[in-house]
Structure 1
Amino acid sequence: MALITLAVSGYRSLRSLVLPLERLNVVTGANGSGKSSLYRSLRLLADVAQGQAIASLAAEGGLRSTMWAGGSGYSVAMRSGRSPMQGNIGAGPVSLRLGFASEDYGYAIDLGLPIPGPGASREDVSLFGHDPVVKAEAVWVGERLSRHNAIARRSNASVLVQDRNGRLRPVVTDLAPFESMMMRAADPTDAVELLLLRERMRAWRFYDHFRIDRDAPARSPRIGTRTVALASDGADLAPAIQTVREIGNGPAFDEAIEDAFAGSSVEIGAADGLFRLSMRQRGLLRPLDASELSDGTLRYIALATALHTPRPPELMVLNEPEGSLHPSLLEPLARMIASASERSQVIVVSHAKSLVDALSHHGAQMLALEKENGETIVGNVEPPAWTWPDR
């Protein structure tokens, strides 16, 4: 099911952002407008389903380093420039909130910092006291959380799930503060909706760092096994292409290569279980080995492989896919992305005007990010209604 709303609050420049999503979306804006923050917040949301959200926040320097650095609220006079910006940084509880609504279910999580109990001694304070904890979580039916449509929610150490009679009853009572109910309570008997939602989130795919340098794994022979989803760094490129050809739409992949590189074709050879990629080009007497391909050519082949996956995910996110590509490749890339959006919901983060314009021509929704007093806003769309779960 496609996402229809994405909500982020308290993450870097994203003080309070609620976005409508379509089948094909382009997030664009000037450098520093918040594109990378929006991309990272989406990855954090996916990390919740993997049980990796806290580790990912730690890798960014901890919750405090990622939180909104502006004031808790600005007056009209401050926003217009008639009065200087002032206020208390971090006033109120520390909170990073992430959520989405899809065509059937919605999910939201609120992360904060642990609060030592009254009278706690120095010895009682955990050395992990800077790790974020889960303050609130909820799963609901429909576009927006309300008092009547929650089917699962967190209450301290308990997870309450709706039973057959429509009542919320506890299915877990010993949930640790650092654990998400998506990890502990999702099961096919008591909480099948949580299990379904978690598996869908785990299947989201993110591509932002294909290795195309001289020592990239894709340039060398690799042990090949059937690969239905290209790795995020493109390391298993050769077996992934062969998988597309054997159980996916190989002709469409070949047409995409021809569309970008007229008269060219990608070849996959195998010897002793090692798969090797090469490319035959018009006018050359032999195919070029992957080690000889330009960075842009290798990246384009990786993008074509990801976009022609034989197992399309519900959501695919591409972060600045135009990197290293010649401008002449951006229109063919846009055609590939538009075609892929018929099978998966796609979000593209890009500041390449040619690619943005081409995707707009293919019907993509434009989400133009801007900065207003340090805060990322989207002025060209109307934010959907949204409600966060109470702590």
Structure 2
Amino acid sequence: MVSQITRIEARNYKSLEQVDVALGPFTVLVGPNGSGKTNLLSVLRFVRDAARFGIEDALRTRGGFDRIKRQDGKQGRVTLTLHGNVTSHASTGAPDRYQLSLGTSKGEVTRREEFTYKRMAGQGRRITLSANETAVARIAADGSDQSAQTRRLASSTTTMLGTFAQLNDDEVGRGPSDFLDFLTDIRYLDPAVREARVPSRLQRGSIDDSASNLSAALYELSRVDPDGLEALTRDLRDCLPGLEAIEFRQGGGSAETVVVSLVEAGLTRPIDLADASFGTVRLLALLTALHEPNPPALTVIEEVDHGLHPYALDVLVGRMREASKRTQLLVASHSPTLVNRLEANEIVVCDRDAESGESIIPSRSAAEIAAAVEESGYLPGELWFSGSLGGVPN
């Protein structure tokens, strides 16, 4: 079973005054510009960066605490909470829960952290790790203060998970390190087509966030999973009439690089990625991520339909559903055509209060979407585009 985040809660974060969003293996956010889709996706990116590089660095790269706090003039902490089934003994009835809360005191950023998980199988046996503003952490078993122990974190900016992941398994088990690994491995896929066109150095591993290593990632797929590359080629053929094959050759220069070319019927020579269209390169980057045999446990994709022909969206939705068996997918879309191909439980409609600027997510439940589809006879994308489900510009 794929590890996954089942709920995201966010308070006072950018446009998210208070949202609580349930996620499935494959979830698509839809709504107008400014409704909070990107802000909800960025919750995962912020928590990932804090886990990778530390809280201070995650804030600095975003312009500081004031740039992530909701600008409504009210006092209140930014609080981000993730619920999920990540650690070995997590379950629907006893999920993992990680919370990061940030505020200010005397001009300095303060933080609180809490992580609750099951160390072992069986009834109870839950451990809560917590850390306060002074970087003093606490271990309490089954919520009991009697057995609580304290530790000092490595620094005031190191995440609590990072410190506890280094402790002896006999004391806290694998939970903190497993959850930390999950967070740091989140992929926030936003292909930069200009970079993706450039031949990349041969290296092993997944496609990166910007798809700057697209050529190497495709070559790696051909090496470790030839059947996966053939399936990817079939998907691409369905979207690019005349495509026959994907070819690889070694590039020049001092470093060993790989060049990807597309062989098309009727042409005397293949087309290098450097000369391929924007939509072709972007689609190829998405399909590469979706066909990887061992992807990160969670993949986030911003504007998944950007630059793609509507006919490609049918292929893409089917591929995302299949890929969600290996990597949880949370994506954002503006395309009614794509939404028409979704089930009600795959859709999260995002809206925004025109007066307060507060994001309303979700603005409709999955049950309400399913009922509207059944009663009207229209497809979900048609209902959304018409305004019947909300989530459209006023």
TM-score range, shorter chain: 0.7 to 0.9
Instruction: Find the partner of 2:201 among 223, 248, 253.
Output: 223
- CA deviations on 1:77-119 (whole Å, 9 max, x unpaired) are xxxxxxxxxxxx223xx41111111122221111111x24xxx
Alignment equivalent of 1:106, drawn from 61, 84, 97: 97
- Contact 2:54–2:158 (CA<8 Å) still a contact in 1? no
Contact 2:202 2:258 in 1 (8 A): yes
SS in 2 for 1:107: strand
Please, which of 90, 96, 101 is the counterpart of residue 74 of structure 2?
90
Q: Which moved more, 1:283-292 or 1:156-165?
A: 156-165
Separation (CA, whole Å) in 2 of partners of 1:52 and 1:15: 24
- 1:137 match: 114
Matched, 1:205 2:187: yes
1:270 aligned partner, one-letter code: Q
Q: Which residue of 2 aligns with 1:18?
A: 20
* Residue 236 (1) aligns with residue 207 (2): no
Normalised to the residue count of structure 2, the TM-score between the two structures is 0.78
Greater Cα shift, 154-163 or 232-241: 154-163
Between the two structures, name the one with larger relative contact order (CA 8 Å, sep ≥ 6): 1
With 367-376 and 157-166 compared, the bigger mean Cα shift is at 157-166
CA contact (8 A) 2:126 2:143 kept: no
More helix by share: 2
Structure 2 counterpart SS, 1:242: helix
Partners of 1:164 and 1:326 in 2: CA distance? 53
Find the partner of 1:369 among 343, 350, 360: 350
SS in structure 1 of the partner of residue 193 of structure 2: coil
Normalised by the length of structure 1, the TM-score is 0.79
User: Deviations for 1:117-149, whole angstroms, at most 9, x for unmatched residues?
Assistant: xxxxxxxxxxxx45x33134333349xxxx994
How many angstroms does 1:51 deviate by?
A: 2.7
- Indicate if the aligned counterparts of 2:199 and 2:258 stay in contact, CA closer than 8 A: yes
Q: Partner residue of 1:386?
A: none
Give percent identity, aligned residues only: 23
Distance 1:275 1:374, change over 3 A: same
Unaligned runs of 5+ in 2: 91-95, 367-394
Which residue does 1:56 correspond to in 2?
Answer: 58
Aligned counterparts of 2:215 and 2:273: Cα–Cα separation in 1 = 10
Structure 1 stretches (4+) deviating beyond 6 angstroms?
A: 163-167
CA distance in structure 1 between the partners assigned to 2:218 and 2:352 by the alignment: 41
Is 1:37 the counterpart of 2:14? The answer is: no
Cα pair distance change 1:197/1:326, threshold 3 Å: same
Find out whether 1:172 has 2:151 as its counterpart: yes
1:337 is aligned to 320
User: What amino acid is the match of 2:47?
Assistant: L
Cα distance in 1 for partners of 2:293, 2:125 equals 39
Task: Return the alpha-carbon distance in structure 2 between the equivalents of residues 269 and 181 of structure 1.
Answer: 46
Count of aligned positions: 338
For 1:170, the aligned partner's letter is: Q
In angstroms, what is the RMSD of aligned CA positions? 2.6
What's 2:389 paired with?
Answer: none
- Residue 266, structure 1, aligned to residue 250, structure 2: no
Q: 1:178 to 1:133 in 2, by over 3 A?
A: farther
